[in-house]
A and B are shown apart, each in its own frame.
Chain A
Amino acid sequence: MIKQNLLALQIVIPLIAAPLCILLRRRALVWGFAVLVCWLTFGISVVLLRQVLETGLVSYEMGGWAAPWGIEYRADPLSAFVLLFVSGIGAIVLSSAGLKDTALDEIPVSRQYLFFTLYLLCLTGLLGITITGDLFNVFVFLEISALSSYGLIGLGGRRQALPAAFQYLVMGTIGATFILIGIGLMYMMTGTLNMADMAERLVMADGGRTALVAFGFLTVGIGIKMALFPLHIWLPNAYAYAPSLVTAFLAATATKVSVYILLRFVFSVFGVTFAFETLGLGGVLMFLSLLGIFVASTVAIFQTNIKRMLAYSSVAQIGYMVLGISFASTTGLVAGIVHLFNHALIKGGLFMAMGCVMLRLKSVDIEDMAGIGRKMPFTMAAWAVGGLGLIGIPATAGFISKWYLIRAALEQNWWIVAVMVLISSLLAVIYVWRVIETAFFKEPSARAREAREAPLSMLLPTWVLVGATLFFGVMTSTSAGVAGRAAEVLLRVIP
C-alpha cells in the first residue's frame, strides 16, 4: 500500500505536518516532530530514487483520475535526483536547530514554531514542483514555496531582513506571474496541462507565435526565480539577511529547483529541437551564464559581509549550472545536473558554517572573523573544505562539476569557454582565500577573542554536508551516474 503511494506521500506528509507544528509550539517538541517528518520525507525520496533507477519512471494518478485529465505525479531520474537532495538537505539543516544554543536563536522565541511551519511548507512546495507532472501544479507549488520563503526570510526580525523579503516578494511575484502567463498560453495552444501530453501535442500543434511568446515568458520567469544573471538582484540581500538556517536551506535548494523547472520545460516540454535549434536558446544562456559567472564572482570579492559574499558566489555558481545546460549535449547536461547536487552540498555546508559563526560572533563581517580559526577550528575547517569545493579543487565535489563542464566545452571545440571556466574559478580562489587567510592567520578580533567553538549539534550537520562534499568528490558513481541517466532521458537518448 505504502509502496504504491510513495509519490503522494512524498508531498502529503510534510504538507500535513506543517500546520501541526503550530499546535505543538514547544521548541523541543516541535523540532523533534519536524525533524522526524523531514527524515521520513528523505527516506521516501531514497526509496523513490531506487525505484526510478530500476524501472526508469514512476507515475501516480492523484485521486485515481487517469493521466491527461487528472493530476499526475511522476518521477524520472532527474526529478528523483532533485527530490533526494532537496529533502536530504532539508533534513540535515533542520536537524541542527534542536537544542538550546543553536542558530535557531536568531529567531525570537515567540516565532520559532512559525519557523518550523514555514520550513515544512517551503519544503513541500519545492518537492511538489519537482514531483508533479502537471503544469498548473508547478505554479501552485511554486507559490507555496515562494510565499513561505518570504516569511522565512523575514522571521529573523533584523531590520534589513524586511526590505530584503519585500524585494524578493516583488521579484518573485513578477517571476511567478510570467510563468503563469506562459503556462496559460501553452494551455490555450494545446488544451492540456499534463507535461508529457503537452510535449506530444506541441509537436503536432504548429505553435507559431504563441509558442514563442509562451517560451519567452517562461524562460524570463524561471530566470528570475533561479537568479540567472542579470535577474538575480533579489538574491544577495535575501540570503545575507535571512536567519542562517533559512539561508542554508534556501541557498542549497530553492534556486536548484528553479533550474529543474527550466530543464523540465526546455527539454521535456518544448524539446531540444525547438529550444536550441529553432530559437538558439543555447547562445543566450551561454552568454548570460558566462557574464554572470564573471560579474558575480568579481562582486563577491569585494563583499565584507561573508554571507552576502557567498550569496554572490551562488549567482556565479548558478551560471555554471546554466552553462552546462546551454551546451545541450549529454556531457554538458551531466555537468549542469551534477552541479545542482554538488553545489547544494557545498553551499549548504558553507552557510551552515556561517550559522555557527553567527551564533558565536553575532556577526558575519570579515573584520570580526579575523583569527577565529583558532577559536573555532572545526567550524572554520569545515568552511575551508567548502571553500575548496567552490574553487573546484580535486577531491571535492566542485571538481567533478568542473571536470564535466570543461569536457563538455572541449568536446564541442568551445576552447574559449573552457578557458573562461578555468579563469573564473581563479576568481573563486580570491574570495575564498580572503576568508581563510583572515580566519586562520590574522590576529583575533575583539569578538573572536571571546568566541568559542560552536556546539556539536550544529557542527555535526555541518560536517555531514562537508563530508558529503568530499565523499562525492571521489565517489561519483551515484552523483554523476544518476545525472548521466537524467541527461540521457532529457535528451531522449533512451526513451
Chain B
Amino acid sequence: MSSSTLVQLVLLTPLVGAGLILACGKRPNVREMVTLLTGVTLFSLVVSLLPAVMAGERPTFTWFEMFPGLPIAFTLEPLGMLFALVASGLWIVTSIYAIGYMRAHHEEHQTRFYTSFALSIFGAMGIALAGNMLTLFLFYEILTLSTYPLVSHHGTEGAMKGARTYLSVLLSTSVGLLLLAVAWTWVMAGTLDFTEGGILAGKVEGPMVLVLLALYAFGTGKAALMPFHRWLPAAMVAPTPVSALLHAVAVVKAGVFTVMKVVVYIFGLDFLSASGANVWLMYAAGITIILASFVALAQDNLKRRLAYSTVSQLSYIVLGAALANSWGVVGGSMHIAMHAFGKITLFFCAGAIYLATHKTEISDMRGLGRTMPITMFAFLIGALSVIGVPPLGGSWSKWYLALGAVDAGQWVFVTILMVSSLLNIAYLIPIPIRGFFSSGPDSVPRAPIKEAPLFCVIALSLTAIGCIALFFFADGVYQLLLPLAGG
C-alpha cells in the first residue's frame, strides 16, 4: 500500500471505529473489544508509516477543495508523526485503563463515552496530519466539540459548569482569535499550506508580526497559555481516563502542537527570530511556567494539582517554539512525547487511588504507598520524569530546551527552567514520599495491599515503563525531529 493510502486509513480508522462502537452499544464486551481493536489497528498503521517519514518521505493527499485554492489536505511530516504516534499509542493504554475504571465505577452512558473518545482521536489524527492551517482549524474544532460530552459526562451541576467553562474558553479563543489569525494569514500570504521555511516572510512586517503571533498563540486555547488556561482545571470534572488521555495527551498536546506547527511552518524559524516577536512569546510562556507551578503548589486536590502542572509544562513546549532555534524546536517537540508519558502516568495513578480508596485530596493520601505500592511507585516514576531526572525521558527534553535557551542567549530562561524544576519537585515529590514513609491517618499498623482493578494497574505500569524506555530511545525521537530544525 502506498504511504498516502496509509495516511488516509489513519484518518478513517478512528471514525469507522466510532461508528462501530455506537453500533455495538448494547453489548459492552463487544464494544470494548472494538475500541481496543480500533486502537491497535490505528497504532500499527501509524507505526508502519514511520520508516517512510524517517527516510524523508512526506506522504500527501487532498480530500477536496473547500474554497478555491484552499483544500482540505493532509501531509505527514515529522512533528505530526510524533504527535500521531503518541496519541494513538497512548489511546490503547488509556482504553485498557478506561475499561477497568468505567466498570469498577459503574459509570452510565458508556457507549456515548467510548464513541466520543474515538471521535476525539479522529480529531487528534486530523490535527496531526493536517497539511494546511484550514484543515488544522477544522479538526481543532472537531476535537473541541467531541470532547465536550466527555467533560460533561456526569451531567451533574458541577460537571455542567466545568464543561461550560471548557467549551466557552476553547471556542471563544479559537473562534475569536485563531480564526482571525488564519483568515488574516490567508489574505496576506494567499496560501495556508504548511511550508518549510514558512509562508509569511516578506508578507507581514514590523509590529504586525507580533500581533499575528499573539493571535495564534493565545487563539490556540488548547495550549493553555495564561490567561486562557482556566478550561484545563475546569475540565478535571471529567472521569479520570478522560483527564488522562485528553488533558495530558490529545487535547493539550494538540494545542502546543498547533503552536509549534505555526512557528515552524507558517512563520518559519528564521523569519520569526529575525523579527524579534518571539522574545515576547518567550516571556508569556516563562510567566505561565512559573505562575502555574505556584498555583499547583497551593492545590490540595490531586487532579487539580496535576492540571496546573500540565498548564506549566505545556508552556515548556511553547517556550521551545518561541526560542525559534533548532535546539528549542527539537526540545519542545520532544517534550510533547516525554510529558505525555509522564503526565498520563500521574493521572492514571490519581484515578487508581480514587477507585481504590475514594480519596481525591492530597492531604488524605499519607501512607498510601503501603496499600497501593505499584501505583505509588509508578507515580514516583511519572513525577521524576516530569521533573526531568535521568534516567527518565523527561530529562532529555529539558536538556535540549536549556540548550536552546543558551543558544538564543536567553539566560533568563535557563534560570526559569531550573526554578521550575525545583517547583516541580516541591509539588510532586511529597505525594509519593508521604505515601511511602508517613503513616496513614487512621494509624492502622499494616493495612492489606489493595490496588485498583487489574486493567488500571496494567495501564499505569505500562506508561511508567514507557517513561524509562523513552530515556534510552530518545535518540530515535531526536532523529525523527531533526528535519524540523532544517538540519
Enumerate chain A interface residues (CB-CB to B < 8 A): 388, 391-395, 400, 402-403, 406-407, 410-411, 418-419, 422-423, 425-426, 429, 433, 437, 440-442, 474-477, 480
Interface of A is mostly: helix
In this assembly, does B451 line the interface, its C-beta being within 8 Å of a C-beta of chain A?
A: no
Complex CA gap A394/B184 in Å reads 17
14 contacts between A and B (CB under 8 A): A400-B67, A406-B183, A407-B183, A410-B183, A422-B175, A422-B180, A425-B175, A426-B171, A429-B175, A437-B152, A441-B155, A474-B66, A474-B72, A480-B67
- B33 located at the interface, meaning its Cβ lies under 8 Å from any Cβ of chain A in the complex: no
Known: A410-B184, A422-B175. 18 other contacts (CB 8 A): A393-B141, A394-B138, A394-B141, A394-B142, A402-B179, A403-B183, A406-B183, A407-B186, A422-B180, A423-B176, A426-B176, A429-B171, A429-B172, A437-B152, A437-B160, A441-B160, A475-B64, A476-B65
B187 touches A411 (CB 8 A): yes
Contact A406 B145, beta carbon cutoff 8 Å: no
CB atoms of B64 and A410 under 8 A apart: no
**Minimal Cβ-Cβ distance residue in A for B152:** A441
Q: Does B167 contact A (CB under 8 A)?
A: yes
Give A391 to B167 CA distance when docked, in angstroms. 13
- Contact at B65–A477, with CB atoms within 8 Å? yes
Contact call B171/A394, Cβ cutoff below 8 A: no
Question: A418 near B64 (CB under 8 angstroms)?
Answer: no
Q: B176 contacts A395, CB within 8 Å? A: no
Complex-state Cα separation, A27 to B179, whole angstroms: 50
Residues of chain A within 8 A of B72, CB atoms compared: 474
B395 to chain A, nearest CB (A): 39
B164-184: CB near A (< 8 Å → 1, else 0) gives 100110011001100110011
Contact partners of B396 in chain A: CB under 8 A: none
Q: Chain A residue with minimal CB distance to B70?
A: A403
Query: Cα distance A418–B187 when bound, in Å?
Result: 13
Check: B97 CB closer than 8 A to any chain A CB.
Answer: no
Contacts of A400 in B (CB 8 A): 66-67
A493–B66 CA distance with the chains assembled, in angstroms: 24
Give complex CA distance A392, B180 in Å. Answer: 13
Q: Does B137 contact A (CB under 8 A)?
A: yes
- Asked, given contacts A407-B187, A433-B167, A474-B72, whether A393 binds B145 with beta carbons under 8 Å apart, the answer is yes
Give the interface centre of A391, A395, A441 by most chain B CB atoms within 10 Å: A441
**Distance of B142 from chain A, by nearest CB (Å):** 7
Chain A nearest CB, measured from B135 CB (Å): 9
- Cβ contact of A429, chosen from B66, B137, B168, B179, cutoff 8 A: B168
A437 to B64, Cβ gap below 8 A?
no
Known: A441-B155, A441-B160. A395 touches B142 (CB 8 A): yes
CB pair A394–B137 under 8 Å, yes or no, is: yes
From A477, which residue of chain B is reached at the shortest CB distance? B65
Main secondary structure of the interface of B (DSSP, over half): helix
Write the nearest CB–CB distance from A477 to chain B, whole angstroms. Answer: 7
Contact assessment for A426 and B175 in the assembled complex, using a CB-CB cutoff below 8 Å? yes
Neighbouring B residues of A402 by C-beta, 8 Å: 179
Interface residues of B, Cβ cutoff 8 Å to A? 64-67, 72, 134, 137-138, 141-142, 145, 149, 152, 155, 160, 164, 167-168, 171-172, 175-176, 179-180, 183-184, 186-187
Of all chain A residues, the one with the shortest Cβ separation from B72 is: A474
CA distance A455 to B285 in the complex (A): 54
Do A410 and B67 contact each other (CB < 8 Å), given the known contacts A394-B141, A429-B171? no
Separation of A3 and B151 alpha carbons in the complex (Å): 57
Report the bound CA distance from A475 to B72 in whole Å: 10
The chain B residue with its CB closest to the CB of A404 is B67
- The contact of A418 among B171, B180, B186, by CB within 8 Å, is B180
Which residues of A lie under 8 Å from residue B176 when comparing CB positions? 419, 422-423, 426
CB neighbours of B66 from chain A (8 A) = 400, 474, 476
Whole-angstrom CA separation of A391 from B172 in the bound complex: 11
Contacts of B64 in A (CB 8 A): 474-475
Question: Do A418 and B183 contact each other (CB < 8 Å), given the known contacts A441-B160, A476-B67?
Answer: yes
Given known A410-B184, A474-B72, contact A388–B145 (CB-CB < 8 A): yes
| A100 nearest CB across to chain B (Å) | 31
Which residues on the A side are within 8 Å of B152 (C-beta)?
Answer: 437, 441
In the complex, what's the smallest C-beta–C-beta distance from A101 to chain B, in angstroms?
A: 28
Assembly CA distance A425 to B187 (angstroms): 21
In the assembled complex, which residues on chain B have CB atoms less than 8 Å from the CB atom of A426? 171-172, 175-176
The distance in angstroms between the C-alpha atoms of A440 and B155, with both chains bound, is 9
Q: Which residue of B lies closest to A406 (CB)?
A: B183
Find out whether the CB atom of A410 lies under 8 angstroms from the CB atom of B65: no
Q: Which B residues are CB-close (under 8 A) to A425?
A: 175
Least CB separation from A474: chain B residue: B66
- Chain A, residue nearest B177 (CB): A422
Known interface pairs A410-B187, A426-B171. Does A437 touch B180 (Cβ–Cβ under 8 Å)?
no
Residues of B within 8 A of A437 (CB): 152, 160, 164
Q: Which residues of B contact A477 (CB under 8 A)?
A: 65
The answer to whether B141 and A406 have CB atoms under 8 Å apart is no
- Bound complex: CA A392 to CA B171 (Å): 11
* Residues of chain A lying within 8 A (CB to CB) of residue B149: 440
Distance to closest chain A CB from B124 (angstroms): 16
B21 to chain A, nearest CB (A): 16
Give 5 closest A-B pairs by Cβ, nearest first: A394-B138, A406-B183, A410-B187, A441-B155, A422-B176
Q: Using Cβ atoms and an 8 Å threshold, which residues of chain B touch A394? A: 134, 137-138, 141-142
Kindly list chain A residues whose C-beta atoms are within 8 Å of the C-beta of B186.
407
Given A410-B187, A441-B160, A476-B66, verify A419-B138 contact (CB < 8 Å): no
B137 CB contacts on chain A under 8 angstroms: 394
A422's contact among B138, B142, B155, B179, by CB below 8 Å, is which? B179
Residues in B whose Cβ lies below 8 Å from that of A391: 171, 175
A395 proximity list for chain B (CB < 8 A): 138, 141-142
CA of A477 to CA of B179 in the docked complex: distance in angstroms?
Answer: 22
Q: Taking the nearest CB of chain B, how far is it from the CB of A379, in angstroms? A: 17
